[in-house]
A and B are shown apart, each in its own frame.
Chain A
């Protein structure tokens, strides 16, 4: 008979092999990163552009991003999409505040032909009138739908107050979409796509020759220099509420400007972040979901910008328990400031974080993404060895110190909607 009350013995992760992708120069300050260790026929190519929402007039960045495959003088958008689909290609494009990323997924034998179509489509984009109009209608509809979601309302108000005076705090409205001019679209496309390529990533066993061809295909879009990014953004402290009468839940956002991976406290703070709200057994989940049943989920995160970063707590709760939830969040933070984290909890979080790191390094796609998350800060895979050191060396005293230093309620931007 086995003794089921007794947990099996555990092994702790001591070491993880972090493999850096191969680096190729595209131009003086643009590189291509290649991870060829893919065992099946899949491949992915990412193109990064300086085409984020902090650039250009309001709304234009996201609008141009939506029009990249909208047609050229030679081909309609329908023809372009048909030819990509005929090769089994998947095209994704997205915009964040600091850049725009295009990701292309295809079987490796089809990757180059797909990329050629995409290169021609973006290079020759002529922004046909009817396509611009169509996107305008779509975006307006999506915006109106989003305005019905408490999550969106809270996030939007949070972003305005977190980034306050900075360009990052700019949020677009329906009327902004109407005022985007054709000249602005053309100029933005020319400046930040055709002259705004900042990096390329290839994952897949596509061969050196194909990598060279990718460099040839897109190399002439390389940007001449890195854009500059705002530092020292200050969040607007205090509370704000967005009313939405018919809501049955309220969305809550609590956070503050903080730092990114370059800061000496980053790694240790990330452990504190995990304890507070970044795993299923976190303090906030245990209290607000598993003890009180106020929510389906609550979480914290550290978000990073090029020259700064921020910390965020997010949840959606029953409308009647909104205030009670804020009280409990504040209480949990104060406990971390006033009491040492018990040894067994710290041990659990350390092991959990090591396990998660192992998982983040599993497989070529994940391994490449690990690299991409440190590359913008001119750091290397050694960052992850330092992560292991930080996890192994963390103490309850250090956690408490960081909670006192960075998690004061009076420093927070607090927003709710609903």
Chain B
């Protein structure tokens, strides 16, 4: 059970407070309800580039990191297709420093040309390091547009192409800030050994005078139901053939999301999973195989990916994989198998909740989903899941016309 209190400032900022008497640290986590899905198709990679700029100084404070480090703290952030999340961890006694910095950059940024120029370069190097200069690094750049034709999930958080980042202008930056960075579009969570009243007073002091704006309406083009099997083959200078089967799955706030989560565990989370046993251990078709969900807020993907063993063809793999998927459709899972998946989920959650920062981030995320208390109720959703639900879900998910397949063919293998 993760306890929390919630209050809202008159300017629309939602604040969560999680008390932990055992820690000498404070976490200040700020989630902005903006991600790569909110970008326009001609200017992708912007939410993430913007995240970098948030460290380039704010309206009253020239540098974000130095004052925080001087207070013994540190900070970082991440951007996904759905959200942008900033966090600060510092000694509890210096919490005001983090609130001062975080509130000032919510008020307004410094918008210096130098910061934009340098961070454009840094992000381009990040693009190269993570997507271009790694074997299989560009897979998501290929897979997303194959699986999504309309919804903005068709591009990666880093952006569709480097030129979009190169062309970002200061006007773009300012417009993006104006639209998305203000109290009504943020969820703040403070965790540490404090009293509620103390937190209310501090947050009001630092964030209370930030002007109120309307939360932007989000109207995203919906992805039409996929009606045909899609396949793309790319040839790369990689040592081994690799495959990525992407199945469209339900949105985050639906039961179907949880069914897909368990099905992906069942297929490829651990060394006792079905695909690992059938395709790797028994049939020796693959050197590695795994299944996971993308975890998106809107309709996302369940991915099955792996690498072929030498001498194995994509067709051999395809036949064996569909046989394993058909098993899930044909007969309901045994209770013992479901129990095994559940205890792993429960164990992983307990470990995750050990960390103060994880708790603060998750509270914000569940608040975005509708109610921070969802974090304490999620296990009930899992507990209610029956083998019949999973069978039904498998029948719906694992259809050829719901699948996009990316094959990476090794050029050195011929």
Task: Assess whether A318 is in contact with B125, with CB atoms less than 8 Å apart.
Answer: yes
Identify which of A82, A141, A292 contacts B307 (C-beta below 8 A).
A141
Task: Assess whether A81 is in contact with B72, with CB atoms less than 8 Å apart.
Answer: no
User: Any chain A CB within 8 A of the CB of B227?
Assistant: no
User: Any chain B CB within 8 A of the CB of A281?
Assistant: yes
Task: Check A289/B69 contact, CB under 8 A, given A82-B340, A105-B351, A296-B129.
Answer: no
Which residues from A are CB-within-8-Å of B128? Answer: 248-249, 318
User: Any chain B CB within 8 A of the CB of A86?
Assistant: yes
Residue of B nearest to A348 (CB): B70
Task: Assess whether A249 is in contact with B70, with CB atoms less than 8 Å apart.
Answer: no
Closest beta carbon of chain B to A19's beta carbon, Å = 12
Question: In the bound complex, how far is the Cα of B91 from the Cα of A352, in angstroms?
Answer: 10
Contact with A along B338-356 (1 / 0, CB 8 A): 0110011011101101111
Which residues from A are CB-within-8-Å of B386? Answer: none
Question: In the bound complex, how far is the Cα of B130 from the Cα of A129, in angstroms?
Answer: 37
Task: Assess whether A355 is in contact with B61, with CB atoms less than 8 Å apart.
Answer: no
Closest beta carbon of chain A to B186's beta carbon, Å = 18
Task: Assess whether A86 is in contact with B94, with CB atoms less than 8 Å apart.
Answer: no
Task: Assess whether B354 is in contact with A365, with CB atoms less than 8 Å apart.
Answer: yes
Contact with B along A1-17 (1 / 0, CB 8 A): 11011011111110010
Residue of A nearest to B126 (CB): A296
Task: Check A2/B206 contact, CB under 8 A, given A88-B343, A351-B71, A352-B69.
Answer: yes
Task: Assess whether B272 is in contact with A85, with CB atoms less than 8 Å apart.
Answer: yes
Task: Assess whether A281 is in contact with B66, with CB atoms less than 8 Å apart.
Answer: yes
Residue of A nearest to B346 (CB): A88
Among B39-47, B140-148, B236-244, B387-395, the stretch in contact with A = B236-244
Task: Assess whether A5 is in contact with B61, with CB atoms less than 8 Å apart.
Answer: yes
Which residues from A are CB-within-8-Å of B23? Answer: 362-363
User: Any chain A CB within 8 A of the CB of B96?
Assistant: yes
Task: Check A355/B96 contact, CB under 8 A, given A85-B272, A148-B237, A347-B70.
Answer: no
Task: Assess whether A352 is in contact with B74, with CB atoms less than 8 Å apart.
Answer: yes
Which residues from A are CB-within-8-Å of B344? Answer: 85, 88, 90
Among A34-42, A48-56, A117-125, the stretch in contact with B = A34-42
Question: In the bound complex, how far is the Cα of B69 from the Cα of A77, in angstroms?
Answer: 48
Q: Of residues A107, A137, A296, which shows the largest number of chain B Cβ atoms within 10 Å of its Cβ?
A: A296
Question: In the bound complex, how far is the Cα of B93 from the Cα of A16, in angstroms?
Answer: 13
Which residues from A are CB-within-8-Å of B240? Answer: 141, 144-145
Question: In the bound complex, how far is the Cα of B128 from the Cα of A147, in angstroms?
Answer: 17
Report A24-61 residues with CB < 8 Å from chain B CB: 39-42
User: Any chain B CB within 8 A of the CB of A316?
Assistant: yes
Task: Assess whether B93 is in contact with A138, with CB atoms less than 8 Å apart.
Answer: no
Contact with B along A274-308 (1 / 0, CB 8 A): 00000111000000011111111000000000000
User: Any chain A CB within 8 A of the CB of B200?
Assistant: no
Question: In the bound complex, how far is the Cα of B288 from the Cα of A142, in angstroms?
Answer: 10
Closest beta carbon of chain B to A284's beta carbon, Å = 14
Task: Check A249/B125 contact, CB under 8 A, given A78-B272, A145-B238.
Answer: yes
Report A313-328 residues with CB < 8 Å from chain B CB: 316-318
Task: Assess whether A358 is in contact with B24, with CB atoms less than 8 Å apart.
Answer: yes
Contact with A along B61-80 (1 / 0, CB 8 A): 10001110111111100000
Question: In the bound complex, how far is the Cα of B94 from the Cα of A13, in angstroms?
Answer: 10
User: Any chain A CB within 8 A of the CB of B119?
Assistant: yes
Closest beta carbon of chain A to B88's beta carbon, Å = 11
Task: Assess whether B122 is in contact with A295, with CB atoms less than 8 Å apart.
Answer: yes
Task: Assess whether A87 is in contact with B287, with CB atoms less than 8 Å apart.
Answer: no
User: Any chain A CB within 8 A of the CB of B336?
Assistant: yes
Residue of B nearest to A321 (CB): B125
User: Any chain B CB within 8 A of the CB of A359?
Assistant: yes
Question: In the bound complex, how far is the Cα of B240 from the Cα of A290, in angstroms?
Answer: 37
Task: Assess whether B122 is in contact with A281, with CB atoms less than 8 Å apart.
Answer: no
Task: Assess whether B117 is in contact with A358, with CB atoms less than 8 Å apart.
Answer: no
Which residues from A are CB-within-8-Å of B351? Answer: 42, 105
Task: Assess whether A10 is in contact with B70, with CB atoms less than 8 Å apart.
Answer: yes
Closest beta carbon of chain A to B368's beta carbon, Å = 25
Task: Assess whether B287 is in contact with A137, with CB atoms less than 8 Å apart.
Answer: yes
User: Any chain B CB within 8 A of the CB of A216?
Assistant: no
Task: Check A7/B74 contact, CB under 8 A, given A141-B239, A289-B122, A293-B120.
Answer: no
User: Any chain B CB within 8 A of the CB of A150?
Assistant: yes
Task: Assess whether A149 is in contact with B287, with CB atoms less than 8 Å apart.
Answer: no
Report B24-69 residues with CB < 8 Å from chain A CB: 24-25, 59-61, 65-67, 69
Which residues from B are CB-within-8-Å of A343? Answer: none
Q: Of residues B67, B129, B309, which shows the largest number of chain A Cβ atoms within 10 Å of its Cβ?
A: B129
Report A226-248 residues with CB < 8 Å from chain B CB: 246-248
Interface residues contributed by chain B, number (CB under 8 Å): 78
Closest beta carbon of chain B to A12's beta carbon, Å = 8
Task: Assess whether A352 is in contact with B272, with CB atoms less than 8 Å apart.
Answer: no
Task: Check A280/B74 contact, CB under 8 A, given A86-B339, A316-B133.
Answer: yes
Task: Check A355/B72 contact, CB under 8 A, given A138-B287, A317-B125.
Answer: yes
Residue of B nearest to A364 (CB): B354
Task: Check A249/B133 contact, CB under 8 A, given A10-B71, A88-B347, A290-B118.
Answer: yes
User: Any chain A CB within 8 A of the CB of B310?
Assistant: yes
User: Any chain B CB within 8 A of the CB of A354?
Assistant: yes
Task: Assess whether B343 is in contact with A78, with CB atoms less than 8 Å apart.
Answer: no
Report B226-276 residues with CB < 8 Å from chain A CB: 237-240, 270-272
Question: In the bound complex, how far is the Cα of B307 from the Cα of A82, in angstroms?
Answer: 23
User: Any chain B CB within 8 A of the CB of A181?
Assistant: no
Task: Assess whether A355 is in contact with B288, with CB atoms less than 8 Å apart.
Answer: no
Which residues from B are CB-within-8-Å of A246? Answer: 237
User: Any chain A CB within 8 A of the CB of B209?
Assistant: yes
Which residues from A are CB-within-8-Å of B61? Answer: 4-5, 7
Task: Assess whether A362 is in contact with B24, with CB atoms less than 8 Å apart.
Answer: yes
User: Any chain B CB within 8 A of the CB of A356?
Assistant: yes
Identify which of A5, A141, A279 contacts B287 (C-beta below 8 A).
A141
Question: In the bound complex, how far is the Cα of B347 from the Cα of A90, in angstroms?
Answer: 9
Residue of A nearest to B347 (CB): A88
Which residues from B are CB-within-8-Å of A4? Answer: 59-61, 100, 104, 107
User: Any chain B CB within 8 A of the CB of A134?
Assistant: yes
Q: Of residues A9, A10, A89, A147, which shows the largest number of chain B Cβ atoms within 10 Å of its Cβ?
A: A10
Residue of B nearest to A40 (CB): B350
Question: In the bound complex, how far is the Cα of B23 from the Cα of A363, in angstroms?
Answer: 7
Task: Assess whether A351 is in contact with B60, with CB atoms less than 8 Å apart.
Answer: no
Residue of A nearest to B205 (CB): A2
Report A96-136 residues with CB < 8 Å from chain B CB: 105-107, 110, 134
Task: Check A85/B271 contact, CB under 8 A, given A137-B287, A145-B239, A362-B23.
Answer: yes
Task: Check A293/B350 contact, CB under 8 A, given A10-B70, A13-B72, A82-B340.
Answer: no
Residue of A nearest to B265 (CB): A85
- 9 cross-chain CB contacts under 8 A: A4-B61, A4-B100, A7-B61, A40-B354, A82-B340, A279-B74, A293-B118, A348-B69, A356-B74
What are the 8 tightest A-B residue pairs by CB atom distance, in nearest-first order?
Answer: A355-B72, A293-B121, A144-B239, A88-B343, A8-B96, A88-B347, A81-B271, A4-B60
- Given contacts A8-B94, A148-B239, A293-B118, 18 further A-B pairs with CB under 8 A are A40-B350, A42-B347, A42-B351, A78-B272, A78-B281, A82-B272, A85-B340, A89-B347, A106-B347, A138-B288, A248-B128, A279-B74, A294-B121, A352-B69, A354-B72, A355-B71, A355-B73, A363-B23
